[in-house]
Amino acid sequence: DDDDQSGTVVVTRTRPKTKRPSMYRVLLLNDDYTPMEFVVHVLERFFQKTRDEATHIMLHVHHHGVGECGVYTYEVAETKVTQVMDFARKHQHPLQCVMEKK
């Protein structure tokens, strides 16, 4: 509640505003060199996929060029991308992982 110079009482009702965070897709990109088994391992290790889920996603990327690993808030998605890129570089594979706003 407020009381301005004119003496008018202004009542401002506030609604508790819980804004949902923007969500981001983490994507794997196909290339000609990264071994299929390595991609499956990445999906199991960093995206908590089962072996069957991981194989399905890997084959989707292999055939379509791009595929979704998961959907996360900004900071989590950014962390996943960094983890995958660091792991791929460490093993000298050209695997690319990116994020995009949903």
Binding residues for ligand TYC (CB under 6 A): 28-32, 34-36, 39, 58, 61-62, 95
Rounded to 5 degrees, what are φ and ψ at 31? -150, 175
Strand-pairing partners, residue 70, are 26
Tokens, residue 44: 């199991």
The smaller minimum CB distance to ligand TYC, of residues 36 and 71, is found at 36
Amino acid 51 reads R
Closer to ligand TYC by CB, 24 or 26: give it: 26
User: Shortest gap between Cβ of 77 and ligand TYC (angstroms)?
Assistant: 17
| Nearest-angstrom CA–CA distance, 74 and 21 | 8
Q: How far is the CB of 22 from ligand TYC (least distance, A)?
A: 25
Find, among 18, 19, 20, 1, the residue nearest to 10 by Cα.
Answer: 1
Smallest distance, ligand TYC to C-beta of residue 21, A = 27
Q: Which is nearer to ligand TYC, 31 or 53 (CB)?
A: 31
